[in-house]
A and B are shown apart, each in its own frame.
Chain A
Amino acid sequence: MKHNALRSFFICGLILIGMALFPLFTNNFIIRFGTDILMFAIMASAWNIIGGYTGYASFGNVVFFGIGAYTTAVLMEKAGFGFALAYASSGLLAAVFAILVGLPVLRLRGHYFAIATLGVAEAMKALVQNLEITEGNSGIYLPMLDMSVRGQYYFFFYMMLATLVACLLTTYILLNAKFGYSLIAIREDEDAANSVGINTTYAKTMAFSLSALFTGFAGSIYAYQQAFIKPEPAFTVHTTVKMIVMAVFGGMGKLFGPLLGAFSIEVISEILSDHFLVAHALFFGTIVILAIVFTPKGIMDIITERKLNVSYFLENIRKHRV
């Protein structure tokens, strides 16, 4: 047991060092691609806290991304804040918003919760499109980062990496604490969780808020990187769908599942759009369907169970037959 934990720790450390050193040996395009993967890895991992561990499939997590992006834009452009302060405020504001929205919305379960969160994200988009402070549909510019081009690529890459590490570390610590068990208990059976005396309202709301915190951080870095944001890409439902697909593809309710999902989905869709410019969405959809049919627990399951053979796939198909 102890030996195992030490080995996992060692592997994680190696991967982390690998990720930290890799930009030094490659070109700007690849660094930028890596930054995108990290951004989605943060969002998918953050979604995993509420969707994977707590079992509340949020279809509106992009709202936290948008809030993070717009908070950074407004604070830096209109209030003259530095990035550090804007970054911290973005995550916190998203987290507070999640508590306020979560208290009523988390009373709903299943599809009702999914639809309500979708509605919250759409409503927030409409609000941002019509407010003066966000400059409506015309979008808002941010001050540029005063650095060499190469320096900028490094800066955004390492910001995303640091945020991802913070997100995974927080998730890991919480999971091994009492709080993590209460989340899993809620996913397994919320009424039973209530009957053993778990404060389910508190646990769910905190999980939602944590998910929002890290998604808000990602939004903040994204806005600074883009230097110009508009309501449509910042609040688009595609982003939520992407987070969910990545988390499911990699392995929901597993610590490194969403990271693996983000990496594979981004790489696959990059290769596909390189080779099939027009039809890549079609191929992409096919791959997602195949993954769900053959490995419904995500590709993380193949790695941890060390089963990559026909009988594993057949068993999955049999077990999850409609």
Chain B
Amino acid sequence: MLLGIKELDAGYGDVQVLWGLNLKVEEKQIVALVGSNGAGKSTLLKVISGLMRPYRGQILFRGEDITRTPPKEIVRKGIVHVPEGRRLFPQMTVEENLVMGAFRRRKDKDIRPELARVYELFPRLKERRLQKAGSLSGGEQQMCAIARGLMSDPRLLIIDEMSLGLAPVIVDDLVEILKEINSRGTAILLVEQDVQLALSNSHYGYVVATGRLVMEGPSEELLQSKEIKEAYLGM
């Protein structure tokens, strides 16, 4: 097991958002976490990446308890979070953004192999490497955000709302790239509102609603289930 979340309760002050959540990501898996607005997906991500402390519960990463580990250590341990809305450094160039992704690297380590690997996955970014990140199109910005995440060579890549505001064609391209990244050994936790997209491109899925886990199972089975079809796919 790569990432394990056990009985997690979390929230903001008196307002509890997550109620006894359990979730697992195995090595080399793509796991989908789906649910509508306000289900608590973003809160869960904040807790995993150390930006927020939970009330109760435990987060294990490769067998180690990381529940109270600060964000910078979590990045070093191999969890990278590609935040919702890309969050690039707009005044820096594409390449500077990518280099920032390797920030936690030791000083003496050469980052050129990583840069080459990332450019191979995203040739578009190579073409635009000296352009300011703020001037990229939405799809290119998302590519840049994912590429920045890959620069620290993570074991687990968490992508929050990748498809938000992007044209379907571009989303298809991004999904292909994610599969390629996954086939090279990086596990991915895909957090999405687009249930169809997330479940048809993952191995396993979790459905959350109002902070509680309502369903889980292999993604194919979830896609076929009556509840999912009715509640999320409008069929």
Contacts and interface: CB of A to CB of B under 8 A. Distances in A.
Given A196-B148, A198-B72, A191 B103 contact: no
B89 A178 contact: no
Interface residues of A, number: 16
Contact of A178 (B70, B72, B88, B107): B107
B135 to A, nearest CB: 13
B88 A189 contact: yes
A288 B152 CA distance: 45
Given A192-B87, A195-B83, A185 B100 contact: yes
Contact of A196 (B70, B90, B91, B152): B152
Interface centre among A178, A184, A192, A194 (most CB of B within 10 A): A192
Given A191-B83, A192-B83, A198 B89 contact: no
A194 B103 contact: no
B175 to A, nearest CB: 22
Interface string B141-158: 000000010001000000
Interface in A177-224: 178, 181-182, 184-185, 188-189, 191-199
A191 B100 contact: no
Interface residues of B, number: 27
Contacts, number: 64
Interface in B55-99: 70-72, 74-76, 80-83, 87-92, 96, 99
A195 B103 contact: no
A199 B72 contact: yes
B104 A196 contact: yes
Given A178-B107, A182-B103, A197 B72 contact: yes
A178 B111 CA distance: 14
Contacts of A182: 103
Nearest to A189: B87
B164 to A, nearest CB: 16
B75 A197 contact: yes
A132 B111 CA distance: 57
Contacts of A192: 83, 87-89
B54 interface: no
B101 interface: yes
Interface in A234-251: none
A151 B208 CA distance: 76
Interface in B86-131: 87-92, 96, 99-101, 103-104, 107
Interface centre among A181, A185, A196, A198 (most CB of B within 10 A): A196
A283 to B, nearest CB: 34
Nearest to A194: B71
A197 B104 contact: yes
B51 A178 contact: no
A298 to B, nearest CB: 15
A197 B76 contact: yes
B163 to A, nearest CB: 19
A196 B154 CA distance: 11
B72 to A, nearest CB: 5
A191 B45 CA distance: 13
A184 B88 CA distance: 12
Q: Which 10 A-B pairs rank lowest in CB-CB distance, beginning with the nearest?
A: A197-B75, A188-B89, A192-B87, A197-B104, A197-B72, A199-B72, A195-B81, A196-B103, A189-B87, A194-B71
Interface of B: 49, 51, 70-72, 74-76, 80-83, 87-92, 96, 99-101, 103-104, 107, 148, 152
23 contacts: A181-B100, A181-B103, A184-B89, A188-B90, A188-B91, A188-B92, A189-B88, A189-B90, A191-B51, A192-B83, A192-B88, A193-B89, A193-B100, A195-B75, A195-B80, A195-B81, A197-B71, A197-B74, A197-B75, A197-B76, A197-B104, A198-B100, A199-B70
